[in-house]
Amino acid sequence: MRLGIFLLATRFPRQDDSAALSRTVEAAVAAERAGFDDVWLAEHHFMPYGVVPSATLLAGHLLAVTRRIHVGTAVSVLSTGHPVALAEQASMLSLLSGGRFRLGVGRGGPWRDLEVFGTGLPRYEHGFAESLDLLLTWLRSDRVSWDGEHFRFREVPVVPRALVPPPVTVACTSPATEELAAERGLPMLLGMHVGADEKAAAVARHGRPDLPHISTHVAQVADSREEAVATLMTEMPRWLGPGLDGYVTVDDRPRPPRDPVAYARRMCDLHAVGSPDECVDVLVSTVQKTGIRHLILMVEAAGSRTATLQNIARLGEEVLPRVRAAVASTA
């Protein structure tokens, strides 16, 4: 059983980017102190929803200021960068940290990032499988050459090379990506937007329940469910609204607007939001329904530095030990 935290590094109202990044570092250090197993970092461009443009860069900093906890990317986007460059960074971080780095990758979306970085819609729409295969080949080889649709180069040595490559997880939001991950023997990272039943169905479609899949959750602990829900319904829309507006398509294709209040309500309905007892029940139920034994918790939803740090501390003290004990007793 692994329990981690997931950090968006959102710029909250009346905050600047320096404060958002400082809070994110503080949260990671607090998570190690609270007994979490890992920290996972989101990556975004050109929006206040997340102010980390390079999850690997921040991961390197967090690995340097922590000693035990693992640090992963959730996710590094393959559609906007070169998979060899990402593989080099991942290998170096794994070597420097003694194996504490974990690499989560994803396709991303049809956002304006593709225009700014010059990779274009073809890399997003048709290039993910090749990017993933090149990344995996690089991580597992001494020398690599490539002759594909999107990448082509003569043989070069792999430097630096981690003899034990960092574990790779694929963010999956569609059956097609689930199938791609399964064909390559890779575990899935399943997001906050779906509940336990949908995640169980994804694991069944993938066909490899034995792999270390990861399930993402909102987690907000309070003295009662009413208090926790009231906090999130007040605070989440304040940062979700401006944040979600940052998703701008590269080709002006229609994009249905997302109601931040409705989205906050859905997060409260799906996830571990409530008293310690209620949070434990939801998380243990997820493990039982899905078979996934690695959960990562989005702990920033209350919208402030103080609330984030208090939430991490309470989860570490009042929820994590009980979840671990309950899962262990049913293993």
Write down all domains in the chain, each with its CATH number in brackets: 2-330 (3.20.20.30)
Average predicted confidence (pLDDT) for the chain = 97
Radius of gyration of the chain (CA): 19
Q: Rounded to an integer, what distance in angstroms lies between the CA atom of residue 201 and that of residue 205?
A: 6
Residues of the chain where predicted confidence (pLDDT) is lower than 50: none
Angle, nearest 10°, between helix axes 196-206 and 175-183?
Answer: 40
**CB atoms inside a 10 Å sphere around CB 29:** 16
**Nearest-angstrom CA–CA distance, 35 and 316:** 6
Enter the DSSP assignment of 194. Answer: S
In angstroms, the CA 8 to CA 48 distance is: 10
CA-closest candidate to residue 32, choices 301, 312, 318: 312
CB 59 within 8 A of CB 92: no
**CA atoms of 1 and 293, how far apart (whole Å):** 5
- What gap in Å lies between CA 251 and CA 181, rounded to an integer? 28
Q: Which residues contact 304 (CB under 8 A, 6 or more apart)?
A: 12, 235
Task: Read off the tokens for 135.
Answer: 């990344």
One-letter amino acid of 155: E
pTM here is 0.98
CA 212 to chain centre: 14
| 233-237 LR contacts (CB < 8 Å, sep 24+) | 233/261, 233/264, 233/265, 233/268, 235/301, 235/302, 235/303, 235/304, 235/307, 236/260, 236/263, 236/264, 236/267, 236/301, 236/303, 237/261, 237/264
The residues near 50 (Cβ < 8 Å, ≥ 6 apart) are 8, 9, 10, 42, 43, 44, 243
Percent of the chain with pLDDT over 90: 96
pLDDT at position 295 is: 98
CA distance 77 to 54: 9
